[in-house]
Amino acid sequence: EPEVTQTPSHQVTQMGQEVILRCVPISNHLYFYWYRQILGQKVEFLVSFYNNEISEKSEIFDDQFSVERPDGSNFTLKIRSTKLEDSAMYFCASSESPVGYEQYFGPGTRLTVT
Amino acid sequence: LAKTTQPISMDSYEGQEVNITCSHNNIATNDYITWYQQFPSQGPRFIIQGYKTKVTNEVASLFIPADRKSSTLSLPRVSLSDTAVYYCLVGEAGNTGKLIFGQGTTLQVKP
């Protein structure tokens, strides 16, 4: 069964540093998403991406965040200057269509900002 | 997206059937009802989706009454590995696919 993969599984960084989280969506999917989950809290939508453009972003997704699809397979989330409160699990997801709710989530990257 | 209300937690024993009910009084005509499962330290996983009446797949059944103001996820004969958080989502994802997760129901299956 095809699956979404994410690297690294765990990233530790110092406050103020830039991090790039990487995702490989399912190959025939066209819609890509990033979510985050702070420990013990609910899953929060960050951004959706289609046709090399952001479709929608949440209030969390401010100027320090950016997304990119640098080639035909990868989808990345960059955090420019990390803060302690960016510590969370970051999930990438993909879907064939935005309509309906069947999205496929990756295993996540745990980001720890010290 | 319609607001949903579901129990914060539930306990069950192996082999039992578990029913988790979600209330969504403000569901709109075009809204679908979808359930996700999340194990600790993993991403959410789509379980089942329905619009009305009953939907069944290899994992679960989803019961939706005629007024669609609630829905019930039914897990037959649960095992310890069904211990997870279950989320009810209601709405039409529309053009952007944004999912809005609530707190979900934490199901603890005991031996």
Please tell me the predicted confidence (pLDDT) of residue B66: 94
For B94, which DSSP code? Answer: T
Distance between A1 CA and the closest CA of chain B, angstroms: 13
Whole-angstrom CA distances from B99 to A45, A100, B10 are: 7, 10, 24
CA distance A49 to A69: 9
3-state secondary structure of B38: strand
Contact B43 A95 (CB under 8 A): no
For A87, which DSSP code? Answer: -
Q: Which of A107, A33, A34, A25 is nearest to A72 (CA)?
A: A25
Contact B98 A89 (CB under 8 A): no
Distance between B50 CA and the closest CA of chain A, angstroms: 10
CA distance A61 to A74: 20
Tell me the Ramachandran region of residue B91: left when phi exceeds 0, alpha when psi lies from -120 to 50, beta otherwise: left
- The more confidently predicted of residues A72 and A96 is A96
pLDDT in tens, A45-92: 999 999 999 999 999 999 999 999 988 889 999 999 999 999 999 999
List phi, psi (to 5°) of A84.
Answer: -55, -40
Evaluate whether residue B85 is within a structural domain. yes
Is B100 in contact with B89 (CB distance < 8 Å)? yes
Task: Give chain B's contact residues with A (Cβ, < 8 Å).
Answer: 32, 34, 38, 41-46, 49, 87, 89, 91-104
Q: What is the count of structural domains for chain A?
A: 1
pLDDT in tens, B40-77: 889 999 999 999 889 999 999 999 999 999 999 999 99
Evaluate whether residue B1 is within a structural domain. no
Evaluate whether residue B23 is within a structural domain. yes
pLDDT in tens, A8-55: 999 999 999 999 999 999 999 999 999 999 999 999 999 999 999 999
Q: Could you list the residue range(s) of the whole structural domain that residue A81 is in? A: 5-113
Evaluate whether residue B92 is within a structural domain. yes
Confidence of residue A100 (pLDDT cuts 50, 70, 90): low
Q: What is the count of structural domains for chain B?
A: 1
Contact A105 B45 (CB under 8 A): yes
Evaluate whether residue B48 is within a structural domain. yes
| A–B CB contacts, 8 A cutoff, strictly below | 75
Contact B49 A100 (CB under 8 A): yes
CATH of the domain at A74: 2.60.40.10
Please tell me the predicted confidence (pLDDT) of residue B30: 82
Q: Which of B87, B81, B109 is nearest to B100 (CA)?
A: B87
pLDDT in tens, B6-26: 999 999 999 999 999 999 998
CATH of the domain at B49: 2.60.40.10
Q: Could you list the residue range(s) of the whole structural domain that residue B67 is in? A: 9-110
Contact B104 A48 (CB under 8 A): no
Contact A55 B32 (CB under 8 A): no
Query: In whole numbers, what is the pLDDT of chain B averaged over residues?
Result: 91
Distance between B95 CA and the closest CA of chain A, angstroms: 6
